[in-house]
Amino acid sequence: MTTPNVEVLQNGSSVNNGDLINNGHELDEYDFSRFEDRPRVLNLERQRSCDERSLNDLPVGFSPHPSLRADNYCRAFDNPDSLYSPGRRSGCNTPLSHFGYGMMTSDPHPMIAEAWDDLRRALVYFRGQPVGTIAALDSSDEKLNYDQVFVRDFVPSALAFLMNGEPEVVKNFLLKTLRLQGWEKKIDRFQLGEGVMPASFKVLHDPIRNTETLMADFGESAIGRVAPVDSGFWWIILLRAYTKSTGDTSLADKPECQKGIRLILSLCLSEGFDTFPTLLCADGCSMIDRRMGVYGYPIEIQALFFMALRCAMLLLKHDGPGKELIERIVKRLHALSYHMRNYFWLDLKQLNDIYRYKTEEYSHTAVNKFNVMPDSLPDWVMDFMPLHGGYFIGNIGPSHMDFRWFCLGNCIAILSSLATQEQSSAIMDLIESRWEELVGDMPLKVCYPAIENHEWRIVTGCDPKNTRWSYHNGGSWPVLLWLLTAACIKTGRPQIARRAIELAETRLSKDGWPEYYDGKLGRYIGKQARKHQTWSVAGYLVAKMLLEDPSHLGMIAIEEDKHLKPVLRRSSSWTA
């Protein structure tokens, strides 16, 4: 056991809780012409305010982003504040919506009020201020580390609060975790990189000394002792969501925030032995935080890396150290998008090419660059691949392709525009065609398919928690609803999200908001699932609010950067 990192803050002066200044500036006011994301928001606002109707009524092909005609330009858009509508309530949990969007849907679902109650009960306070949400409110079970505020788990909570016009807790969380980043982090005698963000933290109360203490885990207490690579990326993504949603650039502009971003990114942009622009990781360093054969170059991390780089471009100041970093980011974004769009992308055409690959090729002309053996193609993938559709596979390395579908990575690829528009639509086509496999009775499979028998023994190390179709091994996680919904809206396919949400509404509340479901169809409450899992609750709320007011999408989606040219290598006839 190592001694946990402990920070005692007794006098309370450590965190700057300065006023939220809505100074009317938006990130985009910097000269980020190459990474401009204003048009997305404008278009979303126009679409929403013009239609004044539910997304449910929109045609199948509805897409919020194509240029709108002049006659679609109307009322709410006249008010420049509506460009980012700081602090607006969605009307989702209130009978009276500020903007009247409440009229767009029928009566709010009774689960919404219940979910807000749960979410507020999950708030964790430090010195009287809310700083995050606890992972689960389940009192019936052994707590393990579910009594902590996890960085990744807090993201949907934060989005729910931002969408509801309550940014304070998000700001507190961002500042508090930033201070934790500053701690010296050691596992045994080995010191972790300065930029590493914690996986989680908790507040310890000492009633005798009347103090509150923070305890953070950077991987030194985690099962498997793996540092969370995703935490830093989520932190940057959340900082951009906060800034976008509130219009308050003063937080991101603080020297300590700028430094925090630089520290996170210098961990990933440092030079080394890499021959690929993707990020090399240990198993279990993200949402799937146990051994599951996701070491190497897992899609979840690569997509979050790309998204964080793009958000950092919007947040970093173009001065001294920021400027130098921006140049490195631009180079990396180019290489990363090329690599991902080329080598991680799988559709019927590409699958057929792999099936016919020659091996042992040498030199620059090699087609089968990673020397993947066609015999390693699993049977399931041949049946799984629809005529129309495709996805980013789980992992690629030397003679290794992990063909499994991972939900989070593919959704983030859509939201960050790592996926081209064509690829994004193809991912949605795949979800529609493989509905039973990926959604089944309860959205949404964290990965597909499960690994079983001998493969399970080898890949998971006989993990009894990750048996086939359970937990990380093909389990269904309600939290993923928000990511699916956001991806659906970005691709103009809200009806897919509606279907998934309706399914979740038949059971989630009755089952007590479980962490995950088991079984091929996700029909059973997970073997060891916590109840009242906060991100299941928050994921549902965010999904509902996004559907009701798609302009919220702006805080978690980024438009395609035309400079990152799509690769038009494959025949378009294979993808719709």
Closer to ligand GLC by Cβ: residue 65 or 532:
532
The site string for ligand GLC over 293-322 (x = CB under 6 A, - otherwise) reads ------------------------------
Nearer to ligand GLC, 153 or 518 (CB): 153
Residue 383's SS3 state is helix
Min dist CB 156 to ligand GLC, Å, is: 11
Question: Rounded distance, CA 249 to CA 271, Å?
Answer: 31
Of 151 and 329, which CB lies nearer to ligand GLC in the complex structure? 151
The answer to whether 570 contacts ligand GLC (rule: CB under 6 A) is: no
Give the other-Cβ count within 10 Å of 576's Cβ: 14
User: Minimal distance in Å, beta carbon 135 to ligand GLC?
Assistant: 4
> How many whole angstroms separate alpha carbon 192 and alpha carbon 401?
30
* Selected range binding ligand GLC among 31-39, 114-122, 150-158, 484-492, rule: CB under 6 A: 150-158
* Contact indicator for 90, 552 with CB cutoff of 8 Å: yes
35 token code pair: 């990474």
Chosen residue from 45, 217, 248, 289 binding ligand GLC by CB under 6 A = 289
Confirm or reject binding of residue 135 to ligand GLC (CB under 6 A).
Answer: yes
Question: What 3 state SS string does 407-467 have?
Answer: HHHHHHHHHCCCCCHHHHHHHHHHHHHCHHHHCCCCCCECEECCCCHHHHHHHHCCCCCCC
Single out the residue of 153, 212, 402, 429 in contact with ligand GLC (rule: CB under 6 A): 153
Measured in degrees and rounded to the nearest 5, phi and psi for residue 470 equal -135, 150
Q: Which is nearer to ligand GLC, 303 or 313 (CB)?
A: 303
Encoded tokens for 389: 């559709």
Q: Which stretch binds ligand GLC (CB under 6 A): 145-153, 203-211, 242-250, 563-571?
A: 145-153
Write down the least CB distance from residue 265 to ligand GLC, Å. 22
> Considering only residues 40, 48, 88, 152, which one is a binding residue for ligand GLC as defined by CB under 6 A?
152
Q: Is the sign of the CA dihedral 417, 418, 420, 421 positive or negative?
A: negative
Given candidates 124, 287, 414, 483, which one binds ligand GLC under the rule CB under 6 A?
A: 287
DSSP state of 362: -
Q: What is the distance between the alpha carbons of residues 326 and 323, in angstroms, rounded to a whole number?
A: 5
Nearer to ligand GLC, 150 or 574 (CB): 150
Q: Site size for ligand GLC, by CB under 6 A?
A: 6
- Write down the least CB distance from residue 299 to ligand GLC, Å: 15
Q: Which is nearer to ligand GLC, 152 or 445 (CB)?
A: 152
Name the DSSP class of 360. S
> How many of the other CB atoms lie within 10 Å of CB of 17?
12
How far from 362 is each of 233, 275, 343, 365, 375, CA to CA, in Å? 36, 16, 17, 7, 19
CA 477 from chain centre, in angstroms, equals: 13
Q: Using the rule CB under 6 A, is 217 a contact of ligand GLC?
A: no
Question: Interface residues for ligand GLC in 11-70 (CB under 6 A)?
Answer: none
Q: From the CB of 152, what's the least distance to ligand GLC, in Å?
A: 5
For residues 246 to 285, the per-residue mask of contacts with ligand GLC, x marking binding by CB under 6 A and - elsewhere, is: ----------------------------------------
CA distance 48 to 63: 11
Give, in order, the Cα–Cα distances in Å from 513 to each of 6, 440, 465.
32, 17, 19
Q: Which is nearer to ligand GLC, 225 or 400 (by Cβ)?
A: 225
Contacts to ligand GLC by CB under 6 A:
135, 150, 152-153, 287, 289
